[in-house]
């Protein structure tokens, strides 16, 4: 038990430490973690022997639950409403068409049984939202004709259908007695009902939660997601459909502390994606990939240049989409973690295959991310599909059209430079407003230009919140009695990639200099680069 926990801890630590560096590379960052896992694996530097498919399925499945939930949570229905129909067609019928095209191709060219071909097609039939949007967000690529919203909705919702087909063909290859129509109906119906139910319950509970427990809202959301995944399974439903719908409902509802939820799940799913790719890289044995590389390359090329474009063209023709949009949607459908997780599902159930399915799918995903992911910005430019006047963040629910407002209190002590002045006489930036004045601790005054500020007044000022985590972060540090900086001047403090920009001492706000000596209970605001 200790070894797996040690491994997971090391993986997460490495992922967090190198994440900011990998974001700046010209290739999809998730590909780096895949390679890093292979580097640590049996044929790598550390030669860690790891072949526990059962534990890998468990870890990756839990991680995938939160990734799919957050994929639904991030969908902005107002932005996506124009592309709902084509997105749903791509994520349902598109998955079926891709499975059939790939299955028939594998059957005819590689001489595998038809069921084996269909299983391979089912496993790799879904596109990967995390991979697609890691590229779009990193490169700040907004796409014309709401194509980014279409890709987000399609790639976020096609995993459940790929999983259902994988379950069906796995059962058929194992010669299990199964009613395919009944299985599919129960998967969809119970999955949808559970997702809608848990989404509504989650929104209701968040809006009526009254507890002193810190971060209770986040804990409640995590519990809701887990129940949304597990509940439909009791009745034969699809947990992935359930958590996806739950995410859509909660993400588009008016819930408290939504921005905090966004930051939490942004971090959680980011680590989950890195963990999945690292673990899968660790699980594979690179020396064994040579026997499946050629068939994997053949399948990937057919999938990229024939199966995906054909399915997309057939479905988007009904939507009268432009040829260049069809071309970009075809290219942007690269594979990812879900396909490998579904391959592990098959391996754990001991399905006999001509080629080792995990290794085969691993190669397909590796090639797909490396080629399609790296060239997506180039293809977008060649097809002239980049919308330079649009912000890619508008595609997501965590986008705030008006920057969030923060409120600051300011007490007017005797001798304050604002004492005795009218509000219109204050030289305030346009972005800062005095929204409330509290006088005598009881009287609330709506401030006007001719309102005179008196000693003892409490002013409430409003300004735009700072939130630019991609460049640098603001962090608060409280100087305690035993803090190493206590009673030291700023000039004596060596700080790498950081700058103390403000100091709060009692009621006083101080712009610090090198001569400023820190005292106990000082609150520092540090900009960390």
Only one residue has tokens 């319950």, namely 201
Looking at residue 294, its pLDDT comes to 93
Torsion from C-alpha of 241, 242, 244, 246, nearest 10 degrees: 160
What Rg value do the Cα atoms of the chain yield, rounded? 27
pLDDT digits (tens, 9 = 90+) for 63-121: 888 988 888 888 777 777 778 888 889 989 999 999 999 999 999 999 899 999 999 99
Task: Mention the CATH class of domain 51-128+145-277+286-392.
Answer: mainly alpha
Q: What is the DSSP letter of 517?
A: B
Looking at residue 399, its pLDDT comes to 46
Q: Which CATH architecture has domain 469-529?
A: 2-Layer Sandwich (3.30)
Instruction: List all residues 6 or more positions away from 433 whose beta carbon is below 8 Å from its beta carbon.
Output: 461, 462, 463
Contact 343, 276 (CB under 8 A): no
Contact 92, 244 (CB under 8 A): no
pTM score of the predicted model? 0.73
pLDDT digits (tens, 9 = 90+) for 153-187: 888 788 888 988 999 999 999 888 777 788 888 88
CATH of segment(s) 402-465 = 3.30.70.1450
Contact 173, 351 (CB under 8 A): yes
Residues forming a β-bridge with 517: 489
Question: What is the side-by-side order of every strand in the sheet holding 473-478?
Answer: 473-478, 523-528, 498-505, 508-510
Residue bearing the bigger pLDDT, 27 or 233: 233
Looking at residue 438, its pLDDT comes to 85
Q: What is the pLDDT confidence band of residue 23, given thresholds at 50, 70 and 90? A: low
Confidence check: pLDDT of 219 > 90: no
Q: What is the DSSP letter of 317?
A: G
Q: Between vectors from CA 111 to CA 107 and to CA 113, what angle results, nearest 5°?
A: 60
Q: What is the pLDDT confidence band of residue 439, given thresholds at 50, 70 and 90? A: confident
Q: What are the φ/ψ torsions at residue 466 (nearest 5 degrees)?
A: -85, 130
Q: What is the pLDDT confidence band of residue 199, given thresholds at 50, 70 and 90? A: very high
Indicate the range of 214-228, 252-266, 340-354, 462-476 predicted with least confidence.
Answer: 462-476
What percentage of the chain reaches a pLDDT higher than 70? 84
Return d(Cα 35, Cα 420) in angstroms, integer.
66
Return d(Cα 345, Cα 123) in angstroms, integer.
10
Looking at residue 3, its pLDDT comes to 65
Q: Residue ranges of the domains in the chain?
A: 51-128+145-277+286-392, 402-465, 469-529
Return d(Cα 317, Cα 269) in angstroms, integer.
34
Confidence check: pLDDT of 510 > 80: no
Only one residue has tokens 């399905």, namely 351
Return d(Cα 36, Cα 216) in angstroms, integer.
36
pLDDT digits (tens, 9 = 90+) for 292-337: 999 999 999 999 999 999 999 999 887 778 899 899 999 988 888 7
């Amino acid at each position: 038990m200790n070894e797996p926990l040690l491994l997971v801890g090391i993986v997460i630590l490495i992922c967090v430490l190198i994440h900011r560096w990998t974001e700046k590379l010209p290739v999809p960052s998730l590909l780096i973690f895949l390679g890093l896992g292979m580097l640590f694996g049996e044929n790598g530097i550390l030669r860690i022997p790891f072949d526990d498919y059962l534990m890998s399925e468990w870890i990756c499945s839990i991680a995938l639950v939160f990734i799919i939930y957050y994929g639904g949570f991030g969908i902005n229905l107002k932005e996506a409403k124009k592309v709902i129909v084509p997105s749903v067609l791509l994520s349902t019928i598109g998955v079926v068409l891709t499975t059939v095209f790939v299955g028939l191709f594998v059957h005819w060219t590689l001489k595998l049984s038809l069921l084996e071909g269909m299983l391979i097609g089912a496993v790799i039939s879904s596109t990967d939202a995390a991979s697609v949007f890691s590229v779009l967000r990193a490169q700040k690529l907004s796409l014309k004709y709401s194509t980014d919203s279409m890709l987000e909705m399609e790639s976020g919702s096609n995993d459940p259908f790929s999983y259902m087909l994988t379950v069906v063909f796995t059962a058929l290859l194992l010669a299990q007695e199964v009613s395919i129509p009944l299985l599919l109906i129960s998967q969809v119906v119970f999955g949808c009902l559970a997702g809608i139910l848990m989404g509504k319950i989650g929104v209701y509970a968040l809006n009526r939660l009254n507890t002193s427990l810190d971060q209770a809202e986040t804990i409640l959301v995590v519990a809701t997601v887990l129940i949304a995944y597990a509940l439909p399974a009791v009745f034969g439903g699809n947990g992935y459909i359930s958590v996806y719908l739950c995410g859509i409902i909660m993400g588009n509802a008016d819930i408290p502390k939504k921005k905090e939820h966004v930051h939490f799940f942004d971090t959680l799913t980011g680590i989950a994606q890195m963990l999945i790719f690292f673990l899968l890289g660790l699980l594979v044995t690179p020396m064994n990939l040579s026997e499946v590389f050629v068939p994997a390359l053949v399948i990937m090329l057919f999938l990229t240049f024939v199966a995906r474009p054909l399915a997309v063209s057939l479905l988007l023709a009904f939507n009268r989409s432009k040829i260049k949009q069809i071309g970009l949607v075809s290219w942007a459908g690269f594979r990812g973690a879900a396909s490998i997780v579904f391959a592990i599902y098959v391996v754990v159930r001991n399905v006999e295959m001509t080629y080792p399915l995990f290794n085969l799918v691993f190669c397909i995903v590796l090639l797909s991310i490396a080629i399609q992911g790296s060239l997506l910005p180039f293809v977008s430019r060649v097809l002239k599909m980049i919308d330079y006047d649009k912000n890619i963040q508008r595609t997501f629910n965590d986008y705030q059209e008006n920057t969030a407002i923060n409120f600051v209190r300011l007490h007017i002590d005797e001798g304050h430079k604002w004492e005795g002045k009218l509000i219109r006489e204050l030289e305030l930036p346009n972005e800062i407003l005095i929204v409330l004045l509290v006088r005598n601790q009881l009287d609330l005054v709506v401030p006007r230009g001719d309102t005179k500020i008196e000693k003892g007044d409490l002013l409430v000022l409003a300004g735009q919140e700072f939130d630019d985590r991609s460049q640098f972060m603001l962090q608060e540090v409280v100087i305690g009695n035993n803090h190493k900086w206590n009673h030291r001047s700023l000039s004596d403090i060596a700080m790498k990639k950081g700058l103390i920009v403000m100091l709060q001492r009692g009621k006083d706000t101080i712009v610090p200099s090198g001569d400023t000596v820190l005292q106990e209970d000082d609150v520092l605001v540090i900009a960390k680069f």
